[in-house]
Amino acid sequence: MKVSLKEYISNKKPIHIIGIGGVSMSALAELLLSFGVPITGSDRSHSKVAERLERLGAKITYAHLPQNVENTALVVRTAAVHDDNPEIIRAREKNIPVMERAEAWGNLMTDYENVICMSGTHGKTTTTSMMTLIAMQAGADPTVMVGSHLPAIDGTLRIGSKGCFVAESCEYCNSFLNFAPTIAVVLNIEADHLDFFKDLDDIIHSFRMFALRTPQNGLVIVNGDDQNAMKAVEGIDRRVMTFGLNKNCDVYAENITTKNGYYAFDIIIDGEKYTNVTLSVPGKHNMLNALAAVAAAYELKMDSDKVAKGLEMFTGSSRRFQKLGTMECGAVVVDDYAHHPSEMRATLETARAMNFNRIICAFQPHTYTRTKALFNEFVDALRLCDKAILAPIYAAREQNTIGIYSSDIAKEVSGAVSLDSFEEIEKYLRENAKNGDLIITMGAGNINSIGYSLVEK
């Protein structure tokens, strides 16, 4: 049975959210609360996010219990919450509809005039954040859902008007196939999430289906420099706009200059200069992210000066080459969420352009399947730093049935060390870091905690 979220919103029926403290779930809860919907939720542990929702009126239980769903009309869950969850079991017994998180967001999107969905193997959070600042600067009053804390909106959600919705859109478990973009952006496509997708062709097909989620009069914006992304949109009956660094793209960069890893460039659209941009985040990859956001802004007829200003104002989001501080010895510490070899390469190449004496990377691989599938690529990426320190693999949702370890990577990277705990890594860095070094804590797990410890006085 297809369930429409709008019916629950308009009738103010109570909705229960399992895992309400999660990034996307907490944003969903806050948006629903703003519409006057009674919200209950459950989570395993207290968090600042959950406490904020309680202040806004949500009633939260810090345990998964069958009685939590007794008085609700609808249950929303993430893909991480399985059918054996006691709340799901009870909801099924009582015939209470259960909706997936991505389906709920997709339902909500249909209420907005322009929905810009940012997808891709890498760069989603950054490009969503760039688009947010552009739209705010251009006076579009966007509603925003982004996957990392964005200082400009003090969180992961901004509640704006119904004219513009900017949404980070993830391919894992095909969740973005529930979304309703009017503008679908495909930043790049690579092999990832091979615990879910069969192979690269399966991933390309998923992105193709995502592009076809746009209406006939919608737009697909795609990286013209990325072969897989172009393959995904080949021959689709939608309007396609390309961006990239070659002049065959509809939107491209020209007169590029770089200073200490930061890029400035002209943006050419349909052969005409649209604007000039100076980025406040380093790295060549961010030039491509900016071009994608500008293509969407151009389609929405946003003022070019305000677009340039919005991009300039973007200084980064949490865990994306985020400067945490400086150690007593003078070494600079940054944290980066990179957990795929291509992201790692982009981050380390950016660091290379920033004139540090040494780049020391403390890397925490993320999931056993990814480490196994992309083993050689991880080795190649880590060879870009001067010293690699490997933390134990972050299991996330997996068990180590493969028998793979961080020490296997360390053996292949000259001078690399593999240590068994964060305490050992922190101790190693304190003993070996020097003034003029850049220390990067890298990975999608909890390795950033080391960086914070290093810079605490």
Question: One-letter amino acid identity for 312?
Answer: E
Question: One-letter amino acid identity for 347?
Answer: T
CA distance 233 to 92: 39
Question: One-letter amino acid identity for 87?
Answer: E
CA distance 193 to 228: 16
First vs last C-alpha separation in the chain = 57
Q: Compute the CA torsion angle 209, 155, 282, 301 (nearest 10 deg).
A: 60
Cα 137 to Cα 84, 96, 149, 291, 303, distances in angstroms: 46, 43, 19, 17, 9
Contact of 223 with 244, CB cutoff 8 Å: yes
* DSSP codes, 65-84: -GGGGTT-SEEEE-TTS-TT
Residue with tokens 């990325």: 226
* DSSP codes, 100-140: EHHHHHHHHHTTSSEEEEEE-SS-HHHHHHHHHHHHHHTT-
What are the two backbone dihedrals, phi and then psi, of residue 201, each rounded to the nearest 5 degrees?
A: -60, -35
Name the DSSP class of 187: -
CA-based nearest residue to 443, from 310, 320, 352 = 320
CA distance 195 to 206: 15
Contact of 23 with 43, CB cutoff 8 Å: no
Contact of 77 with 19, CB cutoff 8 Å: yes
Q: Which residues are designated catalytic?
A: 124-125, 168
CA distance 137 to 129: 12
Within 13 Å and on the Cβ side, how many CA atoms surround 338?
Answer: 25
Cα 401 to Cα 283, 368, 372, 404, distances in angstroms: 37, 8, 11, 8
CA distance 171 to 180: 14
